[in-house]
């Protein structure tokens, strides 16, 4: 990114760095997966299974080494409605979860098809202003989500509890900031979490831990067995498909947009190139596996991905280690992981917020067009208020409208009459739906001579609206007994017009530089 906040573009990865960064990510995944599981209305273990399977499969077969996938809030807020409505449709309390698993199968198919048909390339259409707004909004969302950790029982921490929490968070952040200054290759995030955890345990400091966090949400812990295969227990009929398909489309779109945006960001931060279509297929396969093995599914996680790359994780090994470590925590070391203080994980995420936010935004506000600033602000606000998918889609649409408007204003014409009394209009700028009105205003049909040439050497006919406009202009001239000729059409413009031959037929006169409609040509020949 322009701000180069992470300063990691030329850093090479290593096996040691991948292992340490993977362990750090695994620790950070636990509270995130648990929190998003509660948001979605499913049990914590479903969120943890989802994080494990998403992380492992995308790490092995995804299009972006070093990128971390798991259970995410953007998808969880859609899943909660699905689970609630599913519970009302089914006969058992777990019906909603079963509908969720079935929906994930469809999500996986849709995302896989997006990769097969190479739709991932459309992420290139996301403008820079949208990208910066996305990053800034996401940093704010991560920050606000961590503030919830300062609540207990629905109310804010106060007094000594608040002081302890703030102190431990500050200590973790200090370790993460200072340790790389002493030793660049030290796994600062992992050391910070372990150091603060040991301090809390041996000093008998009373503060919220992973276990107390889960219990406050209504869970019992993270210990469980291996995920098992099971087909979703839902009625296989049109009613079920009609119910889940809209959710599947929304979840697939949100997952792909967030994953491809995260992939683009990590590409910029590491000065490497990922493969969007391959990532689409991997995301789809991972969600299908989640549907069959009892996970809540998900997509790329920008916070955990940045933790990974800032901790030195560059290769696929880092994601694989993170996934396997998470499963190891679930199976064998749940007691120790549950003792990790939430403050240590919050401190890590606050550092992620600082490194994610594009601070260069403030430096360029007066240096870029005001429309770009408006797009950045809008995307940031929508990301915070709604979700990433809505924000990015609105940002792209607004940028496209601005682009169309700006190009519409660039259409212009140079006019002159040659020695034969023929009026020439040399057109500059693209002719498309937004510029047709301004294009027509350039012509003086009533006062022009009998012969008029419109030269498109510096212009392009872009769409059907342009063809219709040319026909309308020609009819205006013909109505007054005047002839209009099109000159210097590019080959792509000629092909476009020939495809619309019922609207505007094109023929070549003796002068190979002149292209006119058949009706124009006939009138021209009759007048000679």
User: Strands, E, within 252-301: which ranges?
Assistant: 299-300
Strand, helix or coil for residue 487? strand
Q: What is the pLDDT of residue 73?
A: 78
With 60 as the cut, is the pLDDT of residue 528 above it? Answer: no
Given a cut of 90, whether residue 37 has pLDDT beyond it is no
Q: Compare 246 and 474 and report the one with higher pLDDT.
A: 246
What is the C-alpha to C-alpha distance for residues 442 and 431, in angstroms, rounded to an integer? 13
* Contact present, 149 and 359 (Cβ < 8 Å): no
Q: Is the pLDDT of residue 3 over 80?
A: no
Residues 310-323 have a mean pLDDT of 92
Q: Which residues pair with 314 in a beta bridge?
A: none
- Identify the weakest region by mean pLDDT among 92-96, 325-329, 393-397, 403-407: 92-96
Q: 299: pLDDT confidence band, cut at 50, 70 and 90?
A: very high
Is the pLDDT score of 484 beyond 60?
A: yes
Output the pLDDT for position 498.
Answer: 65
Domains detected in the chain: 15-387 (no CATH), 412-527 (3.30.750.24)
Helix axes of 238-270 and 128-147: crossing angle, nearest 10 degrees: 100
Q: Any idea which of 201-205, 212-216, 246-250, 480-484 has the lowest mean pLDDT?
A: 212-216
Does 291 score more than 70 pLDDT?
yes
What is residue 124's three-state secondary structure? helix
Mean pLDDT of 451-460: 88
Q: What is the DSSP-derived secondary structure letter of residue 120?
A: G
Average pLDDT score over the chain: 85
* Phi, psi at 457, each rounded to 5°: -60, -35
Lowest mean pLDDT among 167-171, 224-228, 279-283, 501-505: 501-505
Q: Which range is most confident: 5-9, 18-22, 91-95, 366-370?
A: 18-22
Mean pLDDT along residues 105-131: 89
Token couple for 491? 């080959």
Alpha-carbon span 468 to 473, nearest angstrom? 9
In the predicted structure, residue 226 carries a pLDDT above the cut 50: yes
- Phi then psi for residue 485, to 5 deg, are -125, 140
- pLDDT band, very low/low/confident/very high, at 6 (cuts 50, 70, 90): very low
Task: Count the helix, strand and coil residues of the chain and give each as a percent rounded to the nearest 5.
Answer: 65, 10, 30
User: Helix/strand/coil (H, E, C) string of 376-387?
Assistant: HHHHHHHHHHCC
pLDDT value of residue 515: 40
What is the predicted pLDDT for the residue at 282?
96
**Structure tokens, 241:** 């498909």
* Cβ contacts of 469 within 8 Å, gap of 6 or more: 431, 436, 439, 440
The whole-angstrom separation of Cα 135 and Cα 98 is 34
Contact by Cβ (8 Å): 188, 361: no
| pLDDT greater than 90 at residue 505 | no
Q: Which two tokens stand for residue 267?
A: 């590409």
The 10 Å Cβ neighbour count of residue 477 is 22
Nearest one of 128, 126, 129, 123 to 376, comparing CA atoms? 129
* Banded model confidence at residue 514, pLDDT cuts 50, 70, 90: very low
Residues 434, 408 contacting (CB under 8 angstroms): yes
Give whichever of 56-60, 456-460, 515-519 has the largest mean pLDDT: 56-60
Phi-psi region of 312 (alpha: psi -120 to 50; beta: other; left: phi over 0): left
Task: Check if the beta carbon of residue 258 is closer than 8 Å to that of residue 300.
Answer: yes
State the CB neighbour count (10 A cutoff) for residue 91.
6
pLDDT by residue (tens digit) across 145-193? 888 888 877 789 899 999 999 999 999 999 989 988 887 777 888 889 9
CB neighbours (10 Å) of residue 468? 15
pLDDT at 526: 54
d(CA 80, CA 36): 10
Rounded distance between C-alpha atoms, residue 189 and residue 168, angstroms? 14
Q: Residue 521 — pLDDT band, cuts 50, 70, 90?
A: very low
pLDDT higher than 70, residue 465: yes
Distance, first Cα to last Cα, the chain: 64
Residue 506 has pLDDT above 50, yes or no: no
Angle between helices 316-331 and 44-61 (to 10 degrees): 150
- The confidence score (pLDDT) of residue 50 equals 95
Tokens 């995944």 sit on residue = 29
Q: Is the predicted pLDDT of residue 492 greater than 50, yes or no?
A: yes
What confidence score (pLDDT) does residue 207 get?
92
User: Which pLDDT value is given to residue 70?
Assistant: 94
Per-residue pLDDT for 509 more than 70? no
pLDDT 10s digits, 38-66: 778 888 899 999 999 999 999 999 999 99
pLDDT at 357: 87
pLDDT above 70 coverage of the chain, percent? 90
So what's the pLDDT on residue 9?
44
Instruction: Provide Rg for the chain, Cα atoms.
Output: 30
Q: Flag whether pLDDT at 517 surpasses 50.
A: no
Taking only the tens place, the pLDDT of each residue in 249-279 is: 989 988 998 899 899 889 888 888 889 999 9
DSSP 426-458: EEEEEESTTTHHHHHTT--TTTS-SEEEEEEEE
Residue 4 has pLDDT above 70, yes or no: no
Q: Which residues contact 452 (CB under 8 A, 6 or more apart)?
A: 422, 423, 424, 425, 477, 482, 483, 484, 485
Token readout for 203 is 């000093």
Rounded CA separation 405/384 (Å): 28
Kindly tell me if the per-residue pLDDT of 513 is higher than 80.
Answer: no
- Looking at residues 396-422, what average pLDDT do you find? 90
């Amino acid at each position: 990114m322009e701000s180069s906040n992470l300063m990691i573009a030329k850093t090479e990865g290593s096996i040691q760095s991948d292992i340490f960064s993977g362990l750090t990510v695994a620790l950070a995944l636990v509270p995130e997966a648990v929190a998003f599981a509660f948001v979605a209305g499913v049990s914590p273990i479903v969120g943890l299974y989802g994080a494990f399977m998403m992380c492992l499969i995308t790490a092995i077969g995804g299009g972006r080494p070093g990128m971390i996938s798991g259970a995410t809030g953007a998808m969880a807020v859609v899943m909660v409605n699905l689970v609630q409505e599913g519970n009302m449709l089914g006969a058992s309390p777990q019906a909603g979860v079963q509908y969720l698993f079935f929906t994930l199968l469809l999500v996986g198919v849709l995302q896989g098809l997006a990769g097969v048909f190479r739709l991932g390339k459309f992420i290139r259409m996301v403008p820079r202003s949208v990208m910066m707004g996305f990053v800034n909004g996401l940093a704010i969302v991560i920050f606000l989500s961590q503030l919830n950790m300062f609540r207990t029982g629905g109310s804010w921490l106060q007094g000594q509890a608040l002081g302890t929490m703030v102190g431990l968070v500050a200590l973790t952040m200090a370790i993460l900031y200072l340790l790389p200054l002493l030793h660049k290759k030290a796994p600062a995030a992992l050391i910070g979490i372990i150091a603060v955890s040991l301090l809390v345990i041996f000093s008998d400091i009373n503060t919220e831990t992973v276990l107390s966090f889960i219990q406050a949400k209504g869970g019992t812990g993270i210990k469980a067995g291996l995920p098992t295969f099971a087909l979703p227990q839902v009625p296989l009929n049109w009613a079920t498909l009609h119910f889940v398909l809209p959710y599947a489309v929304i979840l697939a779109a949100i997952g792909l947009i967030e994953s491809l945006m995260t992939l683009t960001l990590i590409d910029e931060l590491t000065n490497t190139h990922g493969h969007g279509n391959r990532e689409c297929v991997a995301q789809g396969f991972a969600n299908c596996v989640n549907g069959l093995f009892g996970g809540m599914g998900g997509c790329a996680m920008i916070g955990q991905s940045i933790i990974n790359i800032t901790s030195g994780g560059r290769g696929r090994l880092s994601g694989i280690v993170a996934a396997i470590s998470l499963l190891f925590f679930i199976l064998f070391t749940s007691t120790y992981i549950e003792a990790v203080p939430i403050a240590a994980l919050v401190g890590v995420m606050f550092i992620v917020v600082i490194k994610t936010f594009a601070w260069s935004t403030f430096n360029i506000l007066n240096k870029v067009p005001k429309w770009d600033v408006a797009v950045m602000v809008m995307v940031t606000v929508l990301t915070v208020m709604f979700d990433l998918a809505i924000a990015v889609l609105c940002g792209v649409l607004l940028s496209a409208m601005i682009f169309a408007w700006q190009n519409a204003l660039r259409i212009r014409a140079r006019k002159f009459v040659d020695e034969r009394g023929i009026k020439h209009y040399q057109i500059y700028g693209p002719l498309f739906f937004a510029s047709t009105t301004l294009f027509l205003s350039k012509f003086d049909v009533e006062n022009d001579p009998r012969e008029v040439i419109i030269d498109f050497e510096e212009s392009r006919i872009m769409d059907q609206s342009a063809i219709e406009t040319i026909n309308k202009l020609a009819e205006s001239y013909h109505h007054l007994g005047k002839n209009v000729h099109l000159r210097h059409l590019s080959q792509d413009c000629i092909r476009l017009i020939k495809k619309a031959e019922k609207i505007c037929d094109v023929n070549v006169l003796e002068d190979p530089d002149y292209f006119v409609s058949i009706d124009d040509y006939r009138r021209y020949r009759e007048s000679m």
